[in-house]
Amino acid sequence: MFTKYLDQFVIGETWVSRGRTITESDLVMFAAFSGDWFPLHTDKEYAANTAFKQRIAHGMLVLSAASGLFQFDPDVVVAFYGMENVRFVNPTFIGDTIHIETKVIDITEKEGGRGVITILQEIKKQNGDIAAVATMKLMINRSPQK
């Protein structure tokens, strides 16, 4: 995915990541790390009496797990540049497998042999439902001069 240089990307280019299953351990560890013990994520009895009928993954857990599905070459990627227009469309439950469908929507040249690539990412579940959408920006190096 992010294993090629800025000048090798094309607007409109798409790709799909591998999958990853969200586990109960993920929820517990994320709650402990973030301090977000909201009962919709961590209390089975509470969650059973909500519109969701079961615990759901933290939205930020879904985004974090999804970021781990990208392949990053440290010689190519300079930095995470930002994220915009984040929306959680459908709940992600324990046992759901997510993957990312990505589309390049903008490429902006910057000084110093690098630029910013903007991608639209749809985080989808195994049944095709969209769990979350976001626009992500990464600072990427241009190809080294030969």
DSSP string, 5-74: -GGG--TT-EEE---EE--HHHHHHHHHHH----HHHH-HHHHHTSTTSS-B--HHHHHHHHHTTS-B-T
CATH number at residue 89: 3.10.129.10
Residue 1 within a domain? no
Residue 79 within a domain? yes
Mapped onto helix, strand or coil, the DSSP state of residue 100 is: strand
For the chain, residues with pLDDT lower than 70 are 1, 146
Distance CA 46, CA 41 (A): 9
Domain of 65 in residue numbering reads as 6-141
pLDDT at position 2: 82
Residue 88 within a domain? yes
pLDDT at position 84: 97
User: Which run of H or E residues covers position 138?
Assistant: strand 130-141
pLDDT at position 72: 86
Distance CA 146, CA 138 (A): 24
pLDDT at position 145: 77
**Model confidence pTM above 0.85:** yes
Total domains, the chain: 1
Q: Amino acid identity, residue 132?
A: A
Residue 146 within a domain? no
